[in-house]
């Protein structure tokens, strides 16, 4: 038990380390994650809305809104755990020195997950507030649910990044991971168009961890709560978090320990 | 059983083997480091020094053999060990983006240091780095970075200090400063394990040295014992082109070898060398007692090139 507490304390010190480095370049670090959803909403929401009458009784901007929170979660978590982690691991040798202290590989990985969860929660909350101010959230209370869902969704998204970090042979290969894994997860996730009335895509997308997070955010934003659907999406998403999280832990451990 | 820390032996390795695929980096290495001792691990590049050190705190997983640090097995209880050691790794791995103090505060946190502010100031002062406390690490010279890495290793006041090539590439001033710090650390009863390929450093710091080559222990003992055993006597160093003139005057028991462009003769007594000078009419460039470098070169030097 005290071992577990010790682990959490050490993982938290990894979070502190990331924060100390992150805040050095705060503006540069935070801009893309905020700019992307804002641009998306402007281009698609404002640009396309006039041509699309309504989806399930929502304006297209309202339809897009929760997906914007999901977007920032996906990109925050994936990029931090892919490029960010990879640079720390290979170019900066951060862990070489860190692992001489009581911190172990388990705490390194746990720390990364806590770090991206917190960041994703804050970003999702921030996007939520903007959406609220733009009156794009039919359920105004969704603002409080976004950070919670964002924090959970960040785990599978970050785990994909860590797995990528453990498999790529050089940093350029992340581009391939993005094109073949992240982009499909992103564009086919219900963020941009509904999937439930498409038999093939609708069935296929069930294997995407991102889709389940998007669905939860949409239910929150649109005030469409059904206990069965919440239970389904939540349990699939958390299962992914657990499986991908443990898998990435095993992979990163192999990378950090010779 | 193992959870009971052993008080007299800091490191106990029995037939530790480490393979990287086909390559055998450590081959049944057995060694012990007693508490309060300074033990040197010597050997050419690629001998397996860093690999062994990695095994001690679990960043390298040994393939076979038994290993205990303070009685704990690093493969299973690395944290218990890491709470009590300080490591100066071969690469500094400092956070270049951060300032000296930011970096040390993080490491103080990692190591659970109490009263970190005071401890950091104390150690920066000790390593003559106080004036750099707000400097970005990337702006420090190589010698300052190395000193800062020592500060980092000493934050938790460890019982065992592990130094992996602590002075490689540093200027003599910094080297002497660091030696001085290591010696004073020893004086307060701490244990030190140091790898190096500077024999002078090993002679100066170590009670006992272990010479490794290709992951195999080729010699162990105090520097003095090893010199007595492997290369006793005095060495005269001559110009290489005097070799043929000298040869006819040599005793068959003496040891002769080329070292770079110099021809060396090792004889039991300095008088022998003086007599050699008189008989051959060739003056030595230098005459000196045999040292650990002679031992090292004798035991590891033959296959130079293969190791590199
Ligand atoms: N991670 C690794 N993967 C494969 N080979 C390695 C690895 N680390 C070290 N080696 C090899 O093991 C041998 C010993 O290396 P090392 O312990 O670094 O030597 P030293 O520190 O004495 O210079 C070398 O041949 C080196 O190439
Ligand atoms: Mg080495």
What are A193-251's pLDDT values in tens digits? 888 788 888 888 889 999 999 999 999 999 888 999 999 999 999 999 999 999 999 99
Please list the alpha-helical segments (H only) found in A80-206: 85-86, 94-98, 105-133, 142-167, 173-177, 183-187, 199-204
Q: What is the mean pLDDT of residues B220-239?
A: 91
**Interface pTM (ipTM) of the complex?**
0.87
Pocket of ligand 1 (CB under 6 A): A 258; B 20, 23, 25, 43, 45-51
Residue B301 — pLDDT band, cuts 50, 70, 90? confident
pLDDT at B304 over 60: no
Q: Whose CA is closest to A20, among B105, B94, B123?
A: B105
SS3 content of chain A, % helix, strand, coil (to 5): 80, 0, 20
Provide the pLDDT for residue B1.
37
Distance CA B83, CA A36 (A): 44
Backbone angles phi, psi at A144, to 5 degrees: -80, -20
* Per-residue pLDDT, A144: 95
What's the fold here for domain B9-227? Rossmann fold (3.40.50)
Q: How far apart are CA B224 and CA A34, in angstroms?
A: 67
Q: Rounded to an integer, what distance in angstroms lies between the CA atom of residue B112 and that of residue B132?
A: 23
Q: Please tell me which of the candidates A21, A99, A102 has its beta carbon nearest to residue B95.
A: A21
Q: Which residues of chain A are within 8 Å of residue B97 when distances are taken between CB atoms?
A: 21, 24
B249-296 pLDDT per residue, tens: 888 888 888 888 888 889 899 898 898 888 888 888 999 999 898 888
Nearest Cβ partner for B89 among A17, A20, A96: A96
A98 has a chain B CB within 8 A of its CB: yes
Q: How many angstroms does the Cα of residue B47 sit away from the middle of ligand 1?
A: 8
Identify the pLDDT of residue B7.
60
Predicted structure pTM score? 0.89
- CB contact (8 A) between residue A101 and residue B107: yes
- B chain contacts of residue A16, beta-carbon cutoff 8 Å: 106, 109
CB contact under 8 A, B58 and A20: no
Residue A239 confidence (pLDDT): 97
Domain boundaries, chain A: 2-257
Domain residue spans in chain B?
9-227, 233-289
Fold of B233-289: Alpha-Beta Plaits (3.30.70)
Mean pLDDT (whole number) for A148-177: 95
């Amino acid at each position: 038990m005290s071992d577990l507490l010790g682990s959490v304390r050490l993982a938290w010190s990894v979070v502190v380390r990331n924060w100390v480095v992150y805040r050095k370049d705060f503006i540069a670090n935070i801009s893309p994650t905020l700019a992307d959803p804002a641009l998306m909403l402007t281009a698609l929401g404002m640009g396309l809305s006039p041509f699309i009458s309504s989806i399930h009784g929502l304006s297209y901007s309202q339809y897009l809104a929760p997906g914007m929170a999901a977007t920032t979660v996906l990109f925050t978590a994936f990029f931090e755990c892919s490029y960010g982690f990879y640079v720390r691991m290979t170019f900066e040798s951060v862990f070489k020195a860190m692992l001489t202290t009581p911190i172990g590989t388990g705490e390194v990985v746990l720390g990364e997950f806590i770090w991206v969860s917190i960041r994703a929660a804050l970003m999702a909350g921030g996007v939520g507030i903007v959406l609220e101010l733009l009156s794009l959230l039919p359920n105004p209370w969704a603002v409080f649910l976004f950070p919670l869902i964002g924090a959970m969704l960040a785990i599978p998204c970050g785990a994909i990044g860590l797995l990528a970090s453990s498999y790529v042979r050089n940093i350029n290969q992340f581009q391939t991971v993005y094109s073949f894994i992240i982009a499909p997860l992103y564009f086919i996730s219900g963020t941009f168009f509904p999937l439930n009335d498409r038999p093939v895509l609708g069935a296929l997308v069930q294997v995407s961890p991102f889709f389940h997070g998007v669905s939860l955010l949409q239910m929150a934003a649109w005030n469409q709560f059904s206990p069965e659907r919440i239970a389904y999406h939540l349990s699939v998403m958390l299962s992914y978090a657990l499986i991908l999280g443990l898998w990435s832990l095993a992979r990163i451990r192999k990378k950090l320990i010779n | 059983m193992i959870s009971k820390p052993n008080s007299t032996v800091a490191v106990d390795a029995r037939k530790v083997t480490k393979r990287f695929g086909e390559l055998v980096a450590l081959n049944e290495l057995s060694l012990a480091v007693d508490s309060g001792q300074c033990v040197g691990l010597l050997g050419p590049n690629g001998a397996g020094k860093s690999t062994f050190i990695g095994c001690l705190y679990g960043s390298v997983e040994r393939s076979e053999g038994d290993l205990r640090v303070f009685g704990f097995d690093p493969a299973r209880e690395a944290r218990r060990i890491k709470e009590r050691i300080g490591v100066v790794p071969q690469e500094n791995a400092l956070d270049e983006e951060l300032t000296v103090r930011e970096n040390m505060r993080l490491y103080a946190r990692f190591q659970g240091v109490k009263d970190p502010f005071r401890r950091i100031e104390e150690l920066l002062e000790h390593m003559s780095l106080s004036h750099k406390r707000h400097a970005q690490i990337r702006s420090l010279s190589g010698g300052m970075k190395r000193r800062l890495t020592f500060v980092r290793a000493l934050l938790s006041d460890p019982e065992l200090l592990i130094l992996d090539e602590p002075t490689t590439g540093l200027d003599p001033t910094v080297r002497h400063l660091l030696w001085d710090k290591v010696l004073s650390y020893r004086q307060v009863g701490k244990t030190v394990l140091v790898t190096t390929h500077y024999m002078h450093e090993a002679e100066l710091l170590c009670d006992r040295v272990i010479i490794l080559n290709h992951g195999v222990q080729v010699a162990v003992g105090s520097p003095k014992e090893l010199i007595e055993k492997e290369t006793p006597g005095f060495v005269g160093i001559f110009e290489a082109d005097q070799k043929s003139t000298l040869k006819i005057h040599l005793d068959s028991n003496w040891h002769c070898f080329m070292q770079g462009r110099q021809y060396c003769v090792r004889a039991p007594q300095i008088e022998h060398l003086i007599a050699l000078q008189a008989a051959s009419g060739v003056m030595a460039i230098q005459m000196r007692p045999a040292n650990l470098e002679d031992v090292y070169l004798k035991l590891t030097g033959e296959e130079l090139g293969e190791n590199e």
